[in-house]
């Protein structure tokens, strides 16, 4: 018989329950109040009393209300039908929930994540008598443009024998398709769907590999100077309105991955609505069809209960690991992890825990690290590789990168793409500050050349800052040319026109070619005697490059502008700057 309890205290969405039997951490329970069953999760056990965080508004919950414990951990359904869905933090399909509950979502309504009436075409892969273990493929089902692999459920430990397997045909996700027997002879039925606890990482692979292959985002600044590796991690902190959500949407559309999962874990409702409206209309460059066909959105706005923010983060990463287990490359974008951290702070305060910096819990760093550590590229038992790349935005108040959430995140991620209010106000897209940001990963372009270009931009910034004090007349012509070179690099390479269908996404081949031409300018000793002459020449070259960026790759117009650029550089180039010879050789 399952355990029950009684409510003995209510503090916001944290409820204290008196129990008589045994309960487990992260066990799911339901509070029965006003004819509703409110879902909650055990977060602390103290003798006969437990604290649970409720995933609903707790209005009306009173002393003496009955609580039912399920003996199940907080889990998600894994099976075909996830792609293209919009879920809340508890994996309720929001479109179906809205149909049932109306405009205002009611409490206590929980729906199946995957449709029970839809049939899927199952094709067996394993043979009768085969020896299999958790994560190995038993059969396949077509889902959108992918082959969805039906695997041995991850909670079946040890080795099993395939006793029987269904023939090729159409089945519902709850139909039995495989019967496995364990070493003791016990039978285990396998359907197209199974559950997995969200706070337990999926580790049904043979080896975890080091992320080295660059993840192509088709954004020049990221791919060339601040690369992200497949299976790596990165964060995008920035002040409000600096373009975090826009940057994530661009990466969702253009990054060379198979599956995109967006976790709106406490973002403002307006931004979530924009995502829900735009994604179905965005065309996938790979297929020419809707981007939503390979996207899953976990939608948990800031107006929803704070406990659901944490659930949405773990739900998203569990779904990402599931598709990684199929040998696919998954990009998980969490927006914004600051809201999740604020939810942890609120719950920690109600638990009366000793606070850390700025009242965040002392375990803030370990919680954030545990989330990002679930990224990675793995070698599967089948010999295939799969990856989960995690990128989280951070919303520090006032753009202060010294605050605890940003600092805790920077300790565990492999790349830092810091957004700048200054660049955002100047309409420089993306608004990533190229000097404040960094990456531990290696991109596809030679690091010696990118280092040279980075140093040129740094010196340009220094000269620009000096010019604000002493004026242009207090600067030498050589320094002024260095300043113009940095401005040129920023304008024609770092910035991209997201409204231009060509410049919005740039292939690695074109990036490499363009960067080579820009290096010709940066390393050149130029025959420019006056500042006015230098300004005039750089303005002309910059505009030609901007026109060049908007032309189709290798078109007649592209070739004509390419030739014009070569002529412009040759007219003023009189040699290579001292110290640049080896850079250009590489």
239 annotated as ligand-binding: yes
Cis peptide before 430 (omega within 30 of 0): yes
244 annotated as ligand-binding: yes
243 annotated as ligand-binding: yes
Residue 570 buriedness (CB in 10 A; 0-12 / 13-18 / 19+): exposed
C-alpha–C-alpha distance, residues 551 and 553, integer Å: 6
C-alpha–C-alpha distance, residues 495 and 501, integer Å: 14
Query: For 105, how many CA atoms within 13 A lie in the half-sphere containing its CB?
Result: 20
* Distance spanning both ends of the chain, measured CA to CA: 72
Torsion of CA 200, 204, 208, 214, to 10 degrees: -90
245 annotated as ligand-binding: yes
C-alpha–C-alpha distance, residues 505 and 512, integer Å: 14
Whether residue 160 contacts residue 204, with contact meaning beta carbons closer than 8 Å, is answered with no
Where b means 16+ CB within 10 Å and e means fewer, 409-439 reads: bbebbbbbbbbbbebbeeebbbbbbbeebeb
Backbone φ, ψ for residue 102 (5° rounding): 95, -165
C-alpha–C-alpha distance, residues 42 and 134, integer Å: 28
Kind and range of the H or E element at 100?
Answer: helix 94-101
9 annotated as ligand-binding: no
C-alpha–C-alpha distance, residues 558 and 521, integer Å: 19
Whether residue 333 contacts residue 213, with contact meaning beta carbons closer than 8 Å, is answered with no
Q: Is 302 helix (H, G, I), strand (E, B) or coil?
A: coil
Q: Which of 170, 176, 167 is nearest to 194 (CA)?
A: 176
Residue 559 buriedness (CB in 10 A; 0-12 / 13-18 / 19+): exposed
Phi/psi region, residue 60 (left: phi>0; alpha: psi -120 to 50; beta: rest), is left
Query: For 402, how many CA atoms within 13 A lie in the half-sphere containing its CB?
Result: 0
Q: Is 581 helix (H, G, I), strand (E, B) or coil?
A: helix
Q: Is 195 helix (H, G, I), strand (E, B) or coil?
A: strand
Residues belonging to the binding site are 238-245
Residues belonging to the binding site for ATP are 238-245
């Amino acid at each position: 018989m399952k355990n029950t309890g009684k409510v003995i205290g209510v503090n916001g969405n944290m409820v204290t329950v008196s129990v008589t039997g045994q309960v487990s951490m992260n066990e799911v329970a339901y509070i029965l109040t006003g004819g509703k069953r409110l879902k909650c999760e055990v977060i602390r056990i103290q003798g006969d009393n437990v604290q649970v965080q409720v995933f609903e508004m707790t209005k009306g919950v009173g002393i003496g209300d009955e609580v039912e414990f399920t003996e199940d951990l907080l889990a998600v359904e894994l099976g075909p039908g996830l792609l293209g869905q919009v879920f809340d933090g508890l994996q309720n399909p929001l479109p179906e929930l809205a149909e049932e509950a109306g405009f205002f979502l009611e409490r206590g309504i929980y729906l199946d994540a995957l449709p029970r009436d839809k049939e899927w075409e199952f094709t067996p892969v394993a043979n009768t008598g085969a020896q299999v273990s958790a994560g190995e493929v038993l059969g396949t089902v077509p889902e959108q443009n992918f082959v969805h692999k039906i695997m041995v459920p991850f909670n079946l430990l040890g080795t099993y024998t395939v006793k029987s397997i269904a023939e090729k045909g159409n089945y519902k996700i709850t139909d039995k398709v495989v019967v496995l027997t364990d070493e003791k002879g016990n039978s285990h039925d396998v359907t197209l769907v199974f559950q997995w606890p969200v706070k337990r990482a999926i580790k049904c692979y043979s080896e975890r590999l080091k992320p080295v292959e660059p993840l192509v985002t088709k954004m020049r600044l990221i791919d060339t100077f601040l690369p992200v590796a497949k299976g790596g991690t990165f964060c995008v902190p920035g002040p409000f309105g600096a373009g975090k959500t826009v940057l994530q949407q661009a990466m969702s559309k253009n990054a060379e991955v198979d599956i995109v999962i967006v976790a709106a874990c406490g973002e403002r409702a307006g931004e979530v609505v924009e995502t829900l409206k735009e994604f179905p209309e965005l065309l996938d460059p790979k297929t020419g069809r809707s981007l939503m066909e390979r996207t899953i959105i976990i939608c948990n706005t800031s107006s929803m209960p704070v406990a659901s923010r944490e659930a949405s983060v773990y739900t998203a990463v569990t779904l990402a690991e599931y598709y990684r287990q199929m040998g696919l490359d998954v990009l998980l974008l969490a927006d914004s992890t600051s809201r999740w951290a604020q939810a942890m702070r609120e719950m920690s305060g109600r638990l009366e825990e000793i606070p850390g910096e700025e009242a965040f819990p002392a375990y803030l760093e370990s919680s954030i690290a545990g989330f990002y550590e679930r990224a990675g590229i793995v070698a599967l038992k089948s010999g295939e590789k799969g990856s989960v790349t995690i990128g989280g935005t951070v919303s520090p108040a006032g753009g202060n990168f010294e605050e605890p959430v940003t600092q805790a995140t920077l300790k565990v991620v492999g790349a830092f793409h810091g957004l700048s209010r200054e660049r955002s106000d100047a309409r420089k897209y993306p608004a990533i500050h190229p000097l404040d940001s960094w990456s531990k990963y290696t991109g596809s372009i030679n690091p010696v050349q990118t280092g040279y270009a980075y140093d040129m931009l740094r010196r340009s910034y220094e000269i620009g800052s000096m010019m604000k004090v002493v004026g242009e007349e207090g600067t030498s012509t050589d320094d002024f040319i260095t300043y113009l070179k940095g401005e040129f690099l920023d304008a024609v390479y770092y910035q991209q026109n997201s409204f231009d269908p060509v410049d919005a996404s740039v292939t690695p081949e074109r990036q490499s070619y363009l960067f080579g031409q820009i290096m010709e300018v940066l390393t050149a000793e130029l025959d420019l005697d006056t500042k006015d002459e230098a300004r005039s020449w750089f303005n002309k070259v910059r505009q030609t490059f901007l026109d060049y960026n908007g032309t189709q790759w290798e078109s007649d117009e592209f070739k004509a502008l390419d030739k014009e650029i070569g002529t412009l550089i040759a007219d003023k180039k009189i040699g290579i700057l001292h110290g640049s010879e080896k850079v250009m050789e590489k």
